[in-house]
Amino acid sequence: MEKTLQELAALLHGTLENGSDLKITGVNGLAEAGPTEISFAVQPYVEVCGKSRAGAMILAHGEGELKDRPVIRVENPREAFAELLELFRPREEMERVISPLACIAADARIGKNVAVMPFAVIDKGAEVGDNTVIYPHVYVGRHVRVGSDCIIYPNVTIRENCVVGNRDILQAGCVIGGDGFGFVTMNGRHNKVLQTGNVVLGDDVEIGCNTCIDRATVDSTIVGNGTKMDNLVHLGHNDVVGENNLFVALVGIPGSVHIGNNNTFGGQAATVGHITIGNNNTFAGRCGVINNVGDNQVLAGFPSMPHLEWLRQQSKLRKITEITKNMKELKKQMAALEAQLESAKEGK
């Protein structure tokens, strides 16, 4: 595929600077792009994007200045780059057929234009919406409802009665609706509490590889529209997660936590159970949240604290060896002074 810079600028609703007759054949990263490819840059990389071999660049309005190659100015370079990836590197279309090697219950309801690949299992009473793609070795449990336009990659398990929204992406190996970790200890023995609820995923949700979302003890564990979870995230039973949240890899959220909208949890961040978190918060990597959190906060550390306060603490901790050394030296000096004072007293 080839596209002129004028065509790309129109597609991206951008403005073209230093226009030329260059034909763009692909899109790539700053370091990898070649003379017929287009790349993008945002801060802090705008200042060094001129070193890239890319034939053209996508930049935000008013950021950076390049005289040696064409530039397309847009509102959001990342969004524009994602759009060009869809143009130049579209996903391979799957043949929309139901494999005879798939196991589908007689009363399961399959929508139009659905692909079900070999060795997938769709159990009794399950429903799969239009245009959904189900890869090999997926298990769609009894009475599960899967929406339209979903992609369910290999080895995904969706347990009984769970609900998957529209346009959801379930990456390989994730488990939706495993039993919540519920036990009652009696006479030194841990007795299992039946987990009778389900998991409900909203629309446009993405769940990463080997991420596990536990079914509720009763009612539902809920993940709101537009929320994205990375690999190896754990969401406990009866959690309620709002819309457009981001969970980076290895985040752990135990049971009965209520999370609002537009929060970001950095890698390995975690909370205690039974707390409430508001909206528009950012939790740094390895942050440990042990109390309720309001809105519009940036927290870090364990226990979590305002990010700037944590940075000051870390700065002081890095000096602890020097401080300890100075303290030892001061103790020696104090001991010497005390010895001199004792000698002076005895001399009198």
Backbone angles phi, psi at 205, to 5 degrees: -95, 140
Measured CA to CA, the distance from residue 264 to residue 247 in angstroms comes to 6
Count of residues in the chain: 348
pLDDT digits (tens, 9 = 90+) for 180-201: 999 999 999 999 999 999 999 9
Residue 348 has pLDDT above 80, yes or no: no
CB 140 within 8 A of CB 120: yes
Rounded distance between C-alpha atoms, residue 348 and residue 316, angstroms: 45
Which residues are catalytic, by number? 237
Asked whether the predicted pLDDT for residue 48 surpasses 70, the reply is yes
Q: State the amino acid at position 174 in one-letter form.
A: C
Q: How far is CA 33 from the centre of its chain?
A: 26
- Would you state the pLDDT for residue 92? 85
Coil, helix or strand for 38?
A: strand
CA distance 217 to 94: 37
Run of H or E including 86: helix 77-88
| Average pLDDT of the residues in 264-272 | 98
Measured CA to CA, the distance from residue 8 to residue 21 in angstroms comes to 12
Q: Please name the residues in contact with 321: beta carbons below 8 A apart, sequence gap of 6 or more.
A: none
Question: Which residue reads 């604290």 in tokens?
Answer: 305
Say if residues 217 and 183 touch (Cβ distance below 8 Å).
no
Q: What kind and span of H or E run contains 277?
A: strand 276-277
Q: Which of 77, 5, 74 is nearest to 36 (CA)?
A: 5
Predicted pLDDT of residue 152: 98
pLDDT band at 346 (very low <50, low <70, confident <90, very high): confident
Per-residue pLDDT tens digits for 198-248: 999 999 999 999 999 999 999 999 999 999 999 999 999 999 999 999 999
> What string of H, E and C letters represents the secondary structure of 123-178?
CCCCEECCCCEECCCCEECCCCEECCCCEECCCCEECCCCEECCCCEECCCCEEEE
Select from 175, 269, 246, 249 the least CA-distant residue to 214: 175
| Model confidence pLDDT, tens digit, residues 93-119 | 889 999 999 999 999 999 999 999 999
Instruction: Give me the pLDDT at residue 167, please.
Output: 98
